């Protein structure tokens, strides 16, 4: 017999919700969560395009090993999975 676990979603305490931009579009995220999590939740599956064939690329390992989630912040390429969401962050595609 399967033991059903009660829904405990209401007990999850999230940090404050903040707004940042991705390619000029406002995106909601929670302060301190990974940027890649907020972007994926907002429906942004393609974060950059491959240099050789221009194919869409997105999150793959989500732990900083593959660099597939590279985005541009303050003129620098950074990994979205290793970057925290902060209010007013301006993010763009590489």
pLDDT by residue (tens digit) across 21-80? 999 999 999 999 999 999 999 999 999 999 899 999 999 999 999 999 999 999 999 999
Buried b / exposed e along 31-56 (16+ C-beta atoms within 10 A): eeebbbbbbbeeebeebbeeeeeeee
Task: With a cut of 90, say whether residue 6 has pLDDT above it.
Answer: no
Q: Give the architecture (CATH level 2) of 16-93.
A: Roll (3.10)
Classified as helix, coil or strand, 80 is helix
Model-level pTM? Answer: 0.86
Average pLDDT over residues 5-26: 92
Q: What confidence score (pLDDT) does residue 12 get?
A: 84
Provide the residue ranges of all domains of the chain, joining segments of one domain with +: 16-93
Q: What is the pLDDT of residue 1?
A: 66
């Amino acid at each position: 017999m399967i033991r059903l676990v009660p829904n405990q979603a209401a007990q999850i305490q999230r940090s404050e919700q903040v707004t940042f931009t991705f390619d000029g579009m406002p995106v909601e995220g929670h302060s301190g969560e990974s940027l890649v999590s907020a972007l994926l939740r907002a429906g942004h599956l393609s974060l950059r395009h491959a240099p050789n064939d221009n194919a869409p690329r997105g999150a793959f390992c989500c732990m900083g090993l593959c660099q597939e989630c590279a985005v541009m912040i303050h003129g620098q390429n950074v990994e979205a999975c290793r970057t925290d969401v902060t209010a007013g962050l301006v993010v763009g595609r590489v």
